[in-house]
Amino acid sequence: MFQDSSTRLIALIAILVIAAGTAVGCYRQPVSARAADAAGFQKLVGGLGFGSSVELSTCAVQFDPRLGVTCNAHTGPIPAGSLLCPGCGRFLFSFYPWSFENLTGSSATRHVPAP
Amino acid sequence: MSPLLSIARTGSAAILLSPLRSAVTVLAVIAVLVPYLVGIGLVEGLRQEARIAIGAGTPAGEELLPDLYVAANQFGRRVPIPVNLAEPIGKFDGVTRVVPRIVGRITLGKENVEAVLVGMPREELHRQGSTIQQLTRLVDGELPGSRHGEGPQLVIGSGLARKLNLEVGAVLPPIFRSGGGEKTPRVTGIFQSDISLWQSRMILTTFESAADIFGQQELATDLLVFCRHGQPEAIRLRILQSIPGPSTERATSLQPSVTSRADLESLLPAGLGHREGVFNLLFVVAFAVGILVILVTSGFGLSGRRREIGILKATGWQTDEILVRSLAESVLLGLASAAIAILVALVWLEWLNGFWIAGIFLAGVETQPAFQVPYVLAAQPAALAALVACLLVTTGSAYSTWRAAVTSPAEAMR
Amino acid sequence: MNSGILEAESLSRVYHPGTSSEVRALNGVSLVIPGGGYVVLAGPSGSGKTTLLSLLGALDRPTSGHVKFSDRKLDECSDVELARQRRRMGFVFQNFSLIPRLPVWENITYPQIPRGLSAAKRRQAADGVLSRLGLAAKADVPPEELSGGEQQRVAVARALIGDPEVIFADEPTSNLDRRAATELAAILQEINAGGTTLVVSTHDTLLAESASLVFTLEDGRLVDETA
């Protein structure tokens, strides 16, 4: 009967919502185990990896900002220039590459001429 | 039953009365929401991994990761730093040890597979390895440098192992020549696929082997400086002010740059709120497209819908009652779409390991990722997805419904 | 003019005014519908019967003039008030205008939903009306599976369900075969005999024969009134 179908539809939607809520609320990747393994890996490599890239060719800075100061492919200040960068423009977790001036204490640097 | 509830229940009947239109609407909303939820889930997963990668939240006094990373700049570009600078830095008060590291890019095999080559001193590798309770959870095999006299020993990432069909004990084609002749790199271990995404394309070897491979002796990519608690900032200043320059035949000057853990921690929120990032823009575009799609699907069967509303009005329904009915229909469709989208996103991330979609958001990742994709799907984005879904559906159908509802029944039924 | 349940005063309706496709469907029509009467609006196609019926049944608003329903001017009613007035009326359309896929009993009782009646009570009311019209066995069937005559009887049931004071029927037999038309005519007579005012627009002589009052329209004007 249509009335039954209508009621069943509401029930189905309620079940879907509850299932989605339960899945989000209860399901977690085993964070602690993964965190321990990840920490062990980082100890071996001295802390490496940070961004949304797993290799260096696209954008070393997006792999790890410790590896690069400026981004060669960064095409600002063209309007929306950063969107043209296949590295920075692509990812949802990306950080603006540092310019040298961004680094704390850079004013304290001095040229160190070779003897 | 209250009249309002009775009217709201007819919303579900309205869904069943236009099954095709309802299905297309739900699919359009799911198509917009699933990439959003997957992306947000990946961001949170990445954030957690990134925090671990920089040792954020490490208890004071625990020497897990370096406190400072010292590199060199010349003409504003990153250049290798002389290894011999490690000794003067190591003598600074508060520095417990300095470790040179090489991180570089190489290609392997006929297909020129990209890899990140990391070289750490043999002693450091085994020092750190000995502090890890279950090394087999990280590496299937042995750490490099365990056998003296042999050629380069490599621990390779799970992605590389799969791509190049390599197992523990496998031999790579020679990738360099040295004064001692060709040395054949051997795979001594493979990283487990679920420990980190960044291991996927990584090759870990000894510092000496890495230097030989790149043909760069006495140079490092950076120096890892371990400090006593409370000392990093003071040591950073001291490095910037007082480390001697390199002694070379030609007059050259290197500018040191020092990155601390705090610098990296400050990047995390900046990265996630990266305004120039395309993600937010893409999602806004998808949202707008979603509304257009729903506007179009609202047009499907619009004449039938107009007549249906005309009949309702002719039989005594008021305009606001018709709008409540439509709102109930939209909310039900929105909730259904959001719930399905959340479940699809979770299945896609967990059981399908982000098949294909992870490669859209992460660079260098294959269609079927060779590592366990990190993700966290929290309650907040899920709730936001539900709200967005209801808004999408309501906005898309509101105008056509309102137009039909305010029209006289005779005209609506024409 | 004697006051009846419905009164039309100088009713006019113009479609697309001021454009090249302007149509003056009704032009200054005045009439009185007596309570309990069986009134037929007759006239050739395009004479304005359907337009007049829509205006009397509050399905449309006149360009000028007034409609009074139980001494209440419908053109002065707000949208909400108009909807409430419609609940005192029933309407039977030429092409049935049933909601596809919705079972017969739900089609009939859809008007009652905003009143907060439970599904069980609505089903009970529907069964009563359907039995009266010989359609009890078709309660759970969607309209598409019914014959034309059965669909029109369902439309009549929908018009009856709210115990209306007046029922409007627009060419109710035009899409029916002779047998179904005769059955429907008998049903309408029976409804009128129960005290419900009936206003039928038709050029079917079968229905006109039963009328207590016939208004004849031509080119949007009232040309004749026959008791």
With beta carbons less than 8 A apart as the criterion, state whether C202 and C217 touch: no
Q: State the DSSP code for B363.
A: B
How sure is the predictor about B137, in pLDDT bands with cuts at 50, 70 and 90? confident
Residue B248 forms contact with C (CB below 8 Å): no
Whole-angstrom CA distances from B340 to B11, B37, B358, B362 are 19, 11, 19, 24
Q: What residues contact residue B176 under an 8 Å CB cut-off, 6+ apart?
A: B182, B183, B212, B213, B215
Instruction: Find the mean pLDDT for residues B250-276.
Output: 70
Interface test with B, best of A55, A67, A72, A75 (most B CBs within 10 A): A55
Instruction: Find the mean pLDDT for residues C65-82.
Output: 89
Main-chain phi, psi angles of A33, to 5 degrees = -65, -45
With beta carbons less than 8 A apart as the criterion, state whether B362 and B198 touch: no
Per-residue pLDDT, B31? 87
Per-residue pLDDT, A111? 32
Per-residue pLDDT, A48? 92
Whole-angstrom CA distances from B194 to B142, B164, C48, C111 are 18, 19, 79, 61
CA atoms of B192 and A36, how far apart (whole Å): 13
Q: What percent of chain A has pLDDT over 70?
A: 53
Put simply, the answer to whether A1 touches C102 (Cβ < 8 Å) is: no
The winner for highest mean pLDDT among B68-77, B173-182, B289-298, C121-130 is: C121-130
pLDDT one-digit tens code per residue, B394-404: 887 888 888 88
How sure is the predictor about B265, in pLDDT bands with cuts at 50, 70 and 90? confident
With beta carbons less than 8 A apart as the criterion, state whether A13 and B332 touch: yes
Q: Which two tokens stand for residue C97?
A: 């205008």
Residue in the block written with tokens 């369900």 = C161
Residue C106, domain extent: 34-58+88-226
CA atoms of B265 and B48, how far apart (whole Å): 12
In a domain, C67, yes or no: no
What is the pTM for the complete model shown? 0.82
Interface residues from chain C to B (CB-CB < 8 Å): 54, 57, 59-61, 79-80, 83-84, 86-87, 91, 93, 97-102, 106, 110-111, 113-118, 158, 162
What does pLDDT average to over chain C? 90
Instruction: Find the mean pLDDT for residues B337-357.
Output: 92
Instruction: Find the mean pLDDT for residues B280-305.
Output: 70
Number of folded domains that form chain C: 1
**DSSP string across B153-175:** EEEE-HHHHHHHT--TT-BPPP-
CA atoms of B153 and B162, how far apart (whole Å): 18
Does pLDDT of B256 surpass 70? yes
Q: Which two tokens stand for residue C168?
A: 């409007």
CA atoms of B268 and B275, how far apart (whole Å): 13
Give, to the nearest 10 degrees, the angle between helix B278-299 and helix B19-53: 170
In a domain, C45, yes or no: yes
Per-residue pLDDT, A92? 61
Whole-angstrom CA distances from B414 to B126, C48, C100 are 84, 15, 17
Instruction: Find the mean pLDDT for residues B20-37.
Output: 87
Interface test with B, best of C14, C69, C98, C99 (most B CBs within 10 A): C99
Give, to the nearest 10 degrees, the angle between helix B3-17 and helix B319-350: 60
In a domain, C110, yes or no: yes
Q: Which two tokens stand for residue B102?
A: 């090489």
Interface test with A, best of C98, C104, C106 (most A CBs within 10 A): C106
CA atoms of C2 and B357, how far apart (whole Å): 78
pLDDT one-digit tens code per residue, B371-401: 999 888 888 888 888 888 888 888 878 888 8
CA atoms of B389 and A82, how far apart (whole Å): 30
Does pLDDT of A28 surpass 70? no
Collect all residues of chain A within an 8 Å Cβ-Cβ radius of residue C101: 2
Put simply, the answer to whether B66 touches A47 (Cβ < 8 Å) is: yes
Q: What percent of chain C has pLDDT over 70?
A: 99
Instruction: Find the mean pLDDT for residues B333-350.
Output: 94
How sure is the predictor about B344, in pLDDT bands with cuts at 50, 70 and 90? very high
The side-by-side arrangement of strands in the sheet containing C213-218 is C89-92, C166-170, C197-201, C38-42, C213-218, C221-226
Q: Please name the member of A34, A52, A70 whose beta carbon is closest to the beta carbon of B77.
A: A70
Per-residue pLDDT, A108? 37
Q: What percent of chain A has pLDDT over 90?
A: 19
CA atoms of C156 and C142, how far apart (whole Å): 16
**DSSP string across C63-122:** SEEEEEETTEEGGGS-HHHHHHHHTTEEEE-TT--PPTTS-HHHHHHGGGGGGT--HHHH
Per-residue pLDDT, B44? 83
Collect all residues of chain A within an 8 Å Cβ-Cβ radius of residue B380: none
Angle at B186 between CA B185 and CA B189, to 5 degrees: 135
The side-by-side arrangement of strands in the sheet containing C23-33 is C23-33, C6-15, C64-69, C72-73
With beta carbons less than 8 A apart as the criterion, state whether B73 and B385 touch: no
Instruction: Find the mean pLDDT for residues B128-142.
Output: 86
Higher local confidence (pLDDT), A76 or B301: B301
Does pLDDT of B201 surpass 80? yes
Q: What percent of chain B has pLDDT over 70?
A: 86
| Among candidate residues C109, C107, C130, C122, the one with its CA nearest the CA of residue C187 | C130
Per-residue pLDDT, A73? 59
Q: How many helices (H) and strands (E) does chain A have?
A: 4, 0
* Shortest CA gap B6–chain C (Å): 6
CA atoms of B113 and C118, how far apart (whole Å): 69
Interface residues from chain A to C (CB-CB < 8 Å): 1-3
Strands (E), B109-185: 113-120, 139-141, 153-156, 177-178, 181-182
Per-residue pLDDT, A54? 87
How sure is the predictor about B220, in pLDDT bands with cuts at 50, 70 and 90? very high
For residue C51, the domain's CATH number is: 3.40.50.300
pLDDT one-digit tens code per residue, C35-64: 999 999 999 888 999 999 999 999 999 999
Give the amino acid at B237: L
In a domain, C130, yes or no: yes
How sure is the predictor about A114, in pLDDT bands with cuts at 50, 70 and 90? very low
* Shortest CA gap A112–chain B (Å): 5
Q: State the DSSP code for B18.
A: S
What chains are in contact with C, requiring at least 3 Cβ pairs below 8 Å? A, B
Instruction: Find the mean pLDDT for residues B58-66.
Output: 67
CA atoms of B16 and B329, how far apart (whole Å): 10
With beta carbons less than 8 A apart as the criterion, state whether B188 and B143 touch: yes
Question: Helix, strand, or coil here: B305?
Answer: helix
Per-residue pLDDT, A35? 83
Per-residue pLDDT, B146? 62
In a domain, C148, yes or no: yes
Higher local confidence (pLDDT), A90 or A58: A58
Residue in the block written with tokens 């997957």 = B38
Per-residue pLDDT, C169? 94
In a domain, C128, yes or no: yes
Residue B20 forms contact with C (CB below 8 Å): no
Per-residue pLDDT, B59? 58
With beta carbons less than 8 A apart as the criterion, state whether A35 and B92 touch: no
How sure is the predictor about A112, in pLDDT bands with cuts at 50, 70 and 90? very low
Q: Please name the member of B118, B197, B245 whose beta carbon is closest to the beta carbon of A113.
A: B245
| Neighbour-count burial of B63, counting CB atoms closer than 10 A to its CB (0-12 exposed, 13-18 middle, 19+ buried) | middle
Per-residue pLDDT, B250? 44
Angle at B130 between CA B126 and CA B135, to 5 degrees: 100
Put simply, the answer to whether A3 touches C119 (Cβ < 8 Å) is: yes
Q: Please name the member of B52, B73, B118 whose beta carbon is closest to the beta carbon of A100.
A: B73
Q: In chain C, which residue's Cα lies nearest the Cα of A7? A: C119
Does pLDDT of B57 surpass 90? no
Q: In sequence order, what are the beta bridge partners of C99? A: none
Q: Which two tokens stand for residue B207?
A: 């510092």
Q: Which two tokens stand for residue B331?
A: 């909310």
Q: In chain A, which residue's Cα lies nearest the Cα of B69? A: A66
Q: Which two tokens stand for residue B246?
A: 């390199």
Task: Give the DSSP H/E element, type plus range, for residue B74.
Answer: strand B68-74
What does pLDDT average to over chain A? 71
Per-residue pLDDT, A62? 79
Count of A-C CB contacts under 8 Å: 11
Put simply, the answer to whether C101 touches A2 (Cβ < 8 Å) is: yes
Put simply, the answer to whether C114 touches B316 (Cβ < 8 Å) is: yes
Per-residue pLDDT, B32? 84
In a domain, C76, yes or no: no
Q: What residues contact residue C188 under an 8 Å CB cut-off, 6+ apart?
A: C38, C156, C167, C169, C172, C198, C200, C207, C210
With beta carbons less than 8 A apart as the criterion, state whether A10 and B329 touch: no
Per-residue pLDDT, B364? 81
Q: What residues contact residue C149 under an 8 Å CB cut-off, 6+ apart?
A: C176, C177, C179, C180, C181, C183, C184
**How does B99-134 read in b/e, with b if 16+ C-beta sit within 10 Å?**
bbbbbbbbebeeeeebbbbbbbbbebbbebbeebee
Question: Helix, strand, or coil here: A89?
Answer: coil
Q: In chain B, which residue's Cα lies nearest the Cα of A40? A: B132
Per-residue pLDDT, B299? 63
Q: Please name the member of A6, A41, A57 whose beta carbon is closest to the beta carbon of B105.
A: A57
In a domain, C77, yes or no: no
